[in-house]
Structure 1
Amino acid sequence: MSEPRPLGSSALVRLVAGREIATRLRDKNFIISSIVIIVVLIGVMAFQVVVGSGSDESRVGVVGDASELGPAIQAQGEAVGVDVTIVPLEDEAAARQAVDDEDVDGALVGGTGAAPELLVKDRDSTMEAVVNGAVAGVAVAQQLADAGVDLTAVPEVAVSSLESGDDDGERVVVALIGVGVLYGLLILFGQFVAQGVVEEKSSRVVELLLATMRPWQLLAGKILGLGVLGLAQIVVIGVIGVVGALAFDVVDVPGDLISTVVSVVLWFVLGYAFYASVFAVAASLVSRQEDLGTVLTPTTLVLVAGFFVGLQAAGDPDSTLASVTSYVPGLSPLVMPVRQAAGEAAAWEVALAVVLMLVAIALVVRLGGRVYAGALLRTSGKTKLREALRAERA
């Protein structure tokens, strides 16, 4: 009877990856954190809807025929960003009663006649300007028409904006939310990788695993398995975010906004590959969960710094700090998406940042793999970096 053929490297890596995915899907902390992220994301969008639906709406009563003044007042309000609702009223008494009962914010009495009057309970300069502008515009139009001026011959001014401000603003908001989610997931999955390494070392499971596979295969399987899980999670969050934005009417989501979400997802892949390797290597230097904080703190601080620089880049994406850090491996996944969304990053800049990130990942994996192999079987206390490299060479 022939002996079974040993598994190849790819099969062993897939085996470890499948084990990591299955373990985390049964982990309550992972499930709870995923639900919390989604609930917070939906809550942020709902909050924007509540905030945005308050002070920019006005109800204006008009006595008599509102067919002429109503559209003019609404158009004037739209020009200054106020959503005006016209309420037809029968007479001045009804107008005063409606204002007193706060059924309307103001009531126009007298129309375009000699002495139009706006009745209000509390002075509102914005509403007063909207109504005055509308009444003046209608009055001027009537006088020109009475004088025989053909208003249809007046050319309409075409407006061409040199800045795509609104679209850029929406893309930056989407990128900021995405970077916040990306930051949280990098911390979360980096911790998962680190905790898994320490658990295997402290329980001596790693000794059994290394009897059938090499250290780099175990490291690659861990990173791949949790990476697939993290990628699936951020894609689901991105889809829910886009659907939620459409449902809540928070932003108009054209192709460029969807491309911003895709950009954040792709940067997650690069950021995860970098940080997961660093977290795994750092965790291999200790043997107890209590010691994880000391070895993970430097890397966590880099992530925190990248997150705050990304926030700063939203306000000034062309600043020297944002420009420089968008090329720095480890910081670029949290800064470059914001600069891309703001339209301040050229294609060659993005390509350069990606290349630098790939080079950094290759170096971290190569050096980290050696440290990981040298420190993995050392289960007593902390292992220094030099000792791990010396043990790997031996």
Structure 2
Amino acid sequence: MNKFFIMLAHTYLNRLKSKSFLITTGVTLLLIIGLANFETITERFTGKESDGNQQVAVIGEREGLQQPLQSYLDQQDSSIELAAFEGTKEEAEQAVKDGQYTAFIDIAETDGIPHANYYANQIANTSVSNQIREALQQVKVTIAAEQAEIDPQVYQQISAPVEFETVALEESAKTEEELSEARGLVYVMLFIMYFAVIMYGNMIAMEVATEKSSRVMEILISSASPVAQMFAKIFGIALLGLSQITLFMVVGYQAVKMNQDTMRDGVFDYFGLNNLEISLFVYLVVFFILGYLLYATLAAMLGSLVSRLEDAQQLIAPMTLVIVAAFMIAMFGLNAPDSGFVTVTSYIPFFTPMLMFLRVGMLDVPIWEVGLSIGILIATIVLLAVIGARIYSGGVLLYGKSSSLKDIKAALQLSKKE
């Protein structure tokens, strides 16, 4: 047992000090801080004031049109302020170039119907132009309705969106609002599970292949059993992942706390993270750990079959494709979580961590179904660990070019000779 912890600590510290791990961690932390302060950063670079108001000059036939335009913009809570510009088009262009205005619009009329040209230093950012276009469209429709002598109230009833509300008949079913919140959280968590499993699974396979390529494996075999080595690497990388994710969560929490108002009104509302259920986080932890153990055991087994780093990526490609398939099915299930296809595939062990978590987050799944899927997943992990330990025992003795799953048979034969 003492040798097991020595190898676990060696795996953990070796990866912790690696340049790739430090660079990846540093870049991710900068990304987290940048996303939390995104609005502040954009305001700093664009030179906007804290209120975010954007001045847009208006020239041309603006009489009777500027006020309705501004009214429609205000109804949409737009930060655009239209300002009458007393001057020529050339003077307006110069004012925009000098930074006095964000842009200017030249309004004209044809048979009483308004149209306009939009001028700005750069037109790649369409946020301002789209808002003005929509407001001008509303003004145009209003004028056209008046010319056709259509009652404004009648037109308003015609253009108003139809009232359509979805109501679940089952008492335990989630409401439309709860589904929207759950969908955002599940979407975020699926991405985290997807990238974490791929990253740490590949890390285990590369760790084994690296030791074999440097002939360190020959020394390790003489000092500890291959089974102890395999699980030492699995739990060592798991500890590394836990440390990394904990660091991300701590930094992310502090970044969100410093920008609580902005995040709550922006990202939190968009992804539905304002009202979270503790049970959903519990399921996330359970399925994340079980999913990691499943794929980590498989990655260690496959990594033991190769002795070169370039062969490792090729051999674990099928495992990566399975993870991608699970993720793609989960993306489909976000809009149809109760479909028979998603339900059936959620009991397939290699798909269970993502798909059953999806169903739990989106639907009211009976506890026995969740328990059954977890039981199948645990049984698969145990079976894979037993088979994987035998393959690992023989696989670490295989050297030379290896890029085929046929080497599993050779590894099993070598394990029987020990």
TM over 0.5: yes
- 1:335-374 paired onto structure 2 within 5 Å: 335-374=355-394
Q: How many residues align?
A: 312
- 1:239-318 paired onto structure 2 within 5 Å: 247=260, 248-249=263-264, 250-251=267-268, 253=273, 256-257=276-277, 259-318=279-338
For residues 192-217 of structure 1, the C-alpha deviation after alignment (integer angstroms, 9 at most, x for no partner) is: 11111111112111111121211111
Q: What is the match of residue 227 of structure 1?
A: 238
1:19 is aligned to 2:7: no
1:216 is aligned to 2:237: no
- 1:27-106 paired onto structure 2 within 5 Å: 27-40=18-31, 83=77
For residues 229-278 of structure 1, the C-alpha deviation after alignment (integer angstroms, 9 at most, x for no partner) is: 21333344455556666731122645635543443333221111111111
Q: What is the match of residue 114 of structure 1?
A: none
How many Å separate the matches in 2 of 1:125 and 1:46?
A: 35
SS in 2 for 1:287: coil
Please say if residues 336 and 345 of structure 1, whose CA atoms lie closer than 8 Å, have aligned partners that are also in contact: no
Pairing partner for 2:348 from 314, 319, 328? 328
Structure 2, unaligned runs of 5 or more? 43-51, 55-70, 86-91, 93-100, 103-131, 143-151, 154-164, 169-173
1:195 is aligned to 2:206: yes
Alpha-carbon spacing, 1:373–1:222, altered in 2? closer, same or farther (3 Å)? same
Pairing partner for 2:414 from 378, 381, 391? 391
Q: Normalising to structure 1: TM-score of the pair? A: 0.67
Please say if residues 267 and 337 of structure 1, whose CA atoms lie closer than 8 Å, have aligned partners that are also in contact: yes
Alpha-carbon spacing, 1:317–1:360, altered in 2? closer, same or farther (3 Å)? same
Please say if residues 318 and 344 of structure 1, whose CA atoms lie closer than 8 Å, have aligned partners that are also in contact: no
How many Å separate the matches in 1 of 2:377 and 2:34?
A: 33
Q: Using the TM superposition, give the Cα deviation of residue 381 of structure 1 relative to its aligned residue in structure 2, in angstroms.
A: 2.9
How many Å separate the matches in 2 of 1:47 and 1:272?
A: 32
Structure 1, unaligned runs of 5 or more? 1-8, 51-56, 60-72, 88-94, 104-119, 130-134, 137-158
How many Å separate the matches in 2 of 1:240 and 1:161?
A: 40
Q: Which amino acid aligns with 1:123?
A: L
Q: Using the TM superposition, give the Cα deviation of residue 21 of structure 1 relative to its aligned residue in structure 2, in angstroms.
A: 1.1
Q: Which amino acid aligns with 2:5?
A: R
Q: What is the match of residue 115 of structure 1?
A: none
Please say if residues 174 and 257 of structure 1, whose CA atoms lie closer than 8 Å, have aligned partners that are also in contact: no
Q: What is the match of residue 377 of structure 1?
A: 397
Q: What is the match of residue 98 of structure 2?
A: none
How many Å separate the matches in 1 of 2:37 and 2:340?
A: 35
Q: Using the TM superposition, give the Cα deviation of residue 347 of structure 1 relative to its aligned residue in structure 2, in angstroms.
A: 2.3
Q: Using the TM superposition, give the Cα deviation of residue 170 of structure 1 relative to its aligned residue in structure 2, in angstroms.
A: 2.2
Q: Which one is further off, 376-385 or 36-45? A: 36-45
Cα RMSD over matched residues? 4.0
Q: Which amino acid aligns with 2:341?
A: L
For residues 105-137 of structure 1, the C-alpha deviation after alignment (integer angstroms, 9 at most, x for no partner) is: xxxxxxxxxxxxxxx9943549x99xxxxx99x
Alpha-carbon spacing, 1:231–1:96, altered in 2? closer, same or farther (3 Å)? closer
Alpha-carbon spacing, 1:386–1:96, altered in 2? closer, same or farther (3 Å)? closer
Q: Using the TM superposition, give the Cα deviation of residue 313 of structure 1 relative to its aligned residue in structure 2, in angstroms.
A: 1.2
SS in 2 for 1:316: coil
Alpha-carbon spacing, 1:45–1:265, altered in 2? closer, same or farther (3 Å)? farther
- Give percent identity, aligned residues only: 28
Q: What is the match of residue 54 of structure 1?
A: none
SS in 2 for 1:380: coil
